[in-house]
């Protein structure tokens, strides 16, 4: 299971890359508000909007915003006929525009645009979070070689932090284990998920988290797909695993309810745009194909 991807400009390439000639330049404008980089400038349509070179210039002229008011700027990648970049500015009211959160755009815009915009937010957040060195407290500056942030005093380097997180569909014959999570404010049943600990393989994390959250032992965790989840910096690694033993015992701090659901009698589940939704759909399709083959 893979998604068609955009062409990402890596850090290495960021300084060396010559963007493909003839493509249009598009800028996401992101705001920093109280240290959080979560919102992207939009027009009143509330869509996810990018701006051309000329539009950025006009916008900044109107705001009387000089280039030194730009907190951070970076190339992101190419998709179709566009070259995407991000510009980070301080949050401010802008006439005929509004700031929109990216999270609401999952499944509304294309997967690729969502991922590029997610990369924009993550790079901005990384820049804002590492203005000072965590080891010695000195300021950091951008490294020209590979675009890391480097401490001016002790030379410690800071790259965008990515937190690996496993998400798993546990299956038992024609049933799937789905849980209603305490953090979810709608009655949605989803797959189990958890962060990989330092010193742990992601496969071990799958086994541990399932046991901790619902008391079930699983076997054969099998990797299916991944997706960046930029709120703020997860990389979701999607697995499918087989039930091995045990009865459901809830970790009530995290889970309100968990049940085995037959593939053709599912409760409300996450949208297909999310990894959880895709794992569930994968299982359902598998079962339908089995049914057709029987
Ligand atoms: Zn330092």
Tell me whether residue 141 is in a domain. no
Is 125 found in the same domain as 24? yes
pLDDT per position as a tens digit, 31-67: 999 999 999 999 888 788 999 999 999 988 888 877 7
Tell me whether residue 90 is in a domain. yes
* 157 CA from centroid of ligand 1 (Å): 9
* 161 CA from centroid of ligand 1 (Å): 17
CB-side neighbour CA atoms (13 Å) of 43: 7
- Report the number of distinct structural domains present in the chain: 2
* 226 CA from centroid of ligand 1 (Å): 33
Is 202 found in the same domain as 111? no
Tell me whether residue 158 is in a domain. no
Please report the pLDDT score of residue 3 as a whole number: 67
Among the candidates 109, 129, 149, a domain finishes at: 129
Is 117 found in the same domain as 183? no
* 76 CA from centroid of ligand 1 (Å): 27
> Residue 26: which domain range?
7-129
Among the candidates 105, 129, 153, a domain finishes at: 129
pLDDT above 90 as % of the chain: 70
**pLDDT of residue 16 exceeding 60:** no
Please report the pLDDT score of residue 1 as a whole number: 67
62: number of Cβ within 10 Å: 11
* 151 CA from centroid of ligand 1 (Å): 5
Burial (CB count within 10 angstroms: exposed 0-12, middle 13-18, buried 19+), residue 116: buried
pLDDT per position as a tens digit, 216-265: 999 989 999 999 999 889 999 999 999 999 999 999 999 999 999 999 99
Is 179 found in the same domain as 123? no
Please report the pLDDT score of residue 114 as a whole number: 92
* Of 205, 227, 207, nearest in space to 216 by CA: 207
* 286 CA from centroid of ligand 1 (Å): 52
* 123 CA from centroid of ligand 1 (Å): 20
């Amino acid at each position: 299971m893979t998604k068609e991807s955009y062409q990402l400009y890596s850090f290495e390439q960021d300084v060396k890359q010559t963007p493909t000639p003839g493509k249009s330049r598009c800028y996401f404008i992101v705001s920093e508000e109280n240290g959080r980089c979560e919102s992207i400038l939009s027009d009143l349509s509330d869509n996810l909007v990018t701006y051309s070179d000329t539009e950025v210039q006009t916008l900044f002229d109107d705001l009387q915003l000089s280039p030194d008011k730009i907190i951070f700027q970076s190339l992101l990648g190419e998709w179709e006929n566009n070259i995407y970049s991000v510009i980070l500015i301080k949050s401010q009211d802008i006439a005929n525009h509004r700031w929109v959160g990216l999270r609401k755009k999952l499944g509304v815009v294309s997967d690729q645009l969502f991922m590029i915009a997610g990369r924009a937010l993550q790079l901005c957040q990384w820049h804002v979070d590492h203005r000072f060195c965590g080891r010695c407290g000195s300021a950091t500056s951008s490294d020209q070689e590979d675009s890391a942030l480097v401490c001016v005093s002790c030379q410690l380097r800071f790259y965008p932090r990515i937190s690996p997180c496993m998400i798993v569909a546990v299956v038992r014959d024609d049933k799937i284990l789905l849980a209603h999570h305490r953090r979810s404010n709608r009655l949605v049943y989803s797959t189990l998920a958890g962060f990989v600990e330092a010193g742990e393989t992601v496969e071990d994390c799958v086994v541990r988290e399932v046991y901790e959250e619902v008391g079930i032992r699983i076997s054969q965790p099998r990797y299916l797909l991944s997706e960046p989840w930029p709120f703020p910096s997860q990389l979701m690694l999607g697995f499918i695993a087989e039930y091995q033993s045990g009865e459901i015992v809830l970790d009530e701090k995290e889970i309100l309810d968990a049940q085995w659901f037959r593939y053709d009698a599912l409760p409300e589940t996450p949208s297909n745009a999310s990894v959880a939704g895709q794992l569930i759909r994968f299982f359902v399709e598998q079962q339908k194909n089995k049914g057709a083959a029987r």
